[in-house]
Amino acid sequence: MGYVKTAMLMAAMTALFMGVGYLIGGSGGAVIALVVAGAMNLFSYWNSDKAVLRMHNARLVTERDAPDYVGMIREMTTRAGMPMPACYVIDTDQPNAFATGRNPENAAVAATTGLLRRLSREEVAGVMAHELAHVRNRDTLIMTVTATFAGAISMLANFALFFGGNRDRQGGLIGTLALMILAPFAAALVQMAISRAREYEADRGGAEICGQPLWLASALGKIDAFARGIEMPAAERNPATAHMFIINPLHGQGADKLFSTHPNTANRIAALQELAAAGGGGPAARAAAPRPAGLRESRIPRTGRDAPQRGPWP
């Protein structure tokens, strides 16, 4: 259902783009806007991974530097039949993680030191399996295409103001201003809805990769609680990257809202619990779920303001 929902939302974005292009009456303008937006997003698609990793001061680690963390990723990717991504660590106390890269062969996963120190080995495995599911599902590509359409719609709306649009269009200046405001607004809503749909699908895929839906469910609840009490300065400086993290790293997250890039955490946990009750992951996958040596159980504090527990991480 996650893929069906994503396809329907992508169709809605395409229809919105075509509708705006028709309203401003310039098929040539529509093509120009799409080409420009596509070029910008193609550049981002090839270079955004490096830019995002730099924004968050992520450092590359190897199995020699972080044998438990990197070994865990290697074990899960081997079992899932995926290429091994580059592994990064972000020095910040808030537990969180993200994946980036234009395809599975050129992917990277990043975990914060807060995640590695505060969560148990099973919860870390659940989180990183979620990020590997993003890589396997090529969600970076999906969100790049979505951003292309959203950017093109915004450009078309600006063309309506500067070039007057279709002379036969009703509404005059007021109609043009309404188009400028409402079209990008609608595109943003669809873009955020697609982001939420991909998060649900990555939760399901992560449960399959690690074999235990409840590991991820437990991690989501703890990360959400910590994120409310621990600030991530780099994310606050670069809010456009917030949608990449497994839990919104910005303060003030609320319910499953139209303007949220992430689903409500309680809804995600409930879905994973239902998946576990239905035998999600399968007995073979659960039996093979990673339990790397050396990763100790953390005593998880109840609030994000408690001191972190040290772990075997660089």
* Cβ atoms < 10 Å from Cβ of 291: 11
CA 259 – CA 214 distance, rounded (Å): 28
Does the pLDDT of residue 247 top 70, yes or no?
A: yes
Q: Please say whether the dihedral angle defined by the alpha carbons of residues 56, 59, 63 and 66, taken in this order, is positive or negative.
A: negative
**30-34, 130-134, 283-287, range with the lowest pLDDT:** 283-287
The band of 238, judged by pLDDT with boundaries at 50, 70 and 90, is: confident
DSSP-derived 3-state class of residue 216:
helix
pTM of the model: 0.74
**23-37, 141-155, 286-300, range with the lowest pLDDT:** 286-300
What six digits make up the tokens of 32?
């120009």
When pLDDT is averaged across residues 254-280 and rounded to a whole number, the result is: 80
Instruction: Please identify which residue in the block is written with the tokens 């992508």.
Output: 10
Q: Please, which residues have CB within 8 angstroms of residue 281's CB and are 6 or more apart in sequence?
A: 207, 208, 210, 211, 212, 213, 275, 289
Give 107: exposed, middle or buried? Use CB within 10 Å, 0-12, 13-18, 19+: buried
Give 250: exposed, middle or buried? Use CB within 10 Å, 0-12, 13-18, 19+: middle
Q: Which residues are catalytic?
A: 131
* Contact of 309 with 120, CB cutoff 8 Å: no
pLDDT at 245: 92
What six digits make up the tokens of 251?
């303060």
When pLDDT is averaged across residues 304-310 and rounded to a whole number, the result is: 39
Spell out the domain ranges in the chain.
2-287
Greater confidence (69 vs 170) lies with 69
